[in-house]
Amino acid sequence: MSEIESRGYARPEVLVSTDWVASHLQDPSIRIIESNEDPLLYPSGHIPGAVEVDWTRDLNDPLRRDYLGREGFEALMRRIGVSQDTTVVFYGDRNNWWATYAYWVFQLFGHDKAKIMDGGRIKWEKEGRPLTKEVPSYPASEYRASERDDKKIRAFRDQVLEHLKAKKPLVDVRSPDEYTGKKLHMPEYPNEGALRGGHIPGAASVPWAKAINPEDGTFKTSSELRSLYENDAKIKPGDDVIVYCRIGERSSHTWFVLTHLLGYPRVRNYDGSWTEWGNLVGAPIER
C-alpha cells in the first residue's frame, strides 16, 4: 500500500506522489500541467516536460465572466498535445490552489483522466528535484470535447439563494477576517471588487488551508479531514453542499477534498463567490 493509499481516502487514485511523477516524466500517456497564481514561476523553472495552463489566459472566456466553451477547451487540449486518453497531472504554487481549480474546470468538460500531484510545487522544490526553463512542445492532438456541463459541480447565484433558503450546508473557505467581514480581501492582497464584507448567511467557516499540512503542502489524512468538515462544519457525507471563496479558486481546493478525498457525492463550487455575492443588490449577508 502506498503512503497516499494509507491515508484512507475515498478515491486515492486522484492523488499521485512526487516520486510517481518523477518516474513518469517520459511517459507519453501522461501530461504534466503546471497551474500557478504567480505567472513568473513557470518560466523561472518547472518540472521537465510540464506544460503551463494559466487560469486567466487559458481557462476563461476572454470577454464574459465565465469559463471557456467547448471549442476553446478543444483548442487548449490540442495545443498542449492532450488526447481523450491522456492522463493529465496538475500541480502548482499556493499548495495546489490553482492546480485544483484547473482540475475542476477540466471536470466541467468531463476529462476525468486527471490527477493532482500531492504537495504541489513546494514539495517538488523542497525535495531538490529537477526544474527546467525549457518549454516543451508536443504534437497537436485532435481532441474532441463534450459540451461543458455545469450542472453537477458548479453553482450559480440563484441556486445559492435557493440553497440558503432551504437551509442546506454552505462552506466558506476564506480566511477568518474575510468571513467576519473585517476584510474585503485575502490577507496581504489588494481588494478585488467586493463592496460588502461578511459571509453568506448560515455558511460554516472552514479555511481551505486547514486541509493541508503546511510544512510540505500534502493533504491531511481522511480522518483529519472528516473531523474538520463533519465536526467543525457539521456537514454529513450525503449532504448537498456548496463551497465558495472569493472567485472560486480556494473553494475548488475544498471541492476536491470533499468530492474525491472524502467521497461526498453532491458538492458544487460557487465560482461567482464573494466578488459576486458581496456586490449583489439586496443579497443577504451575515457578519
Positions marked catalytic? 245
Based on the number of CB atoms within 10 Å of its own CB, is 205 exposed (0-12), middle (13-18) or buried (19 or more)? middle
Residue 258 Cα distances to 79, 141, 166, 254, angstroms: 31, 32, 21, 6
Q: Are 89 and 33 in contact (CB under 8 A)?
A: yes
Neighbours of 181 (CB within 10 A): 15
Closest CA to 89 of 73, 110, 113: 113
Helices (H) and strands (E) in the chain, counts: 11, 10
Pinpoint the alpha helices (H) of the chain: 18-23, 41-44, 55-59, 70-79, 93-108, 120-126, 157-165, 176-180, 222-226, 249-256, 273-277
d(CA 259, CA 255): 6
Residue 81 Cα distances to 51, 53, 71, 91, angstroms: 10, 12, 15, 18
d(CA 273, CA 244): 5
Ramachandran region, residue 198 (left: φ > 0; alpha: ψ -120 to 50; beta: rest):
left
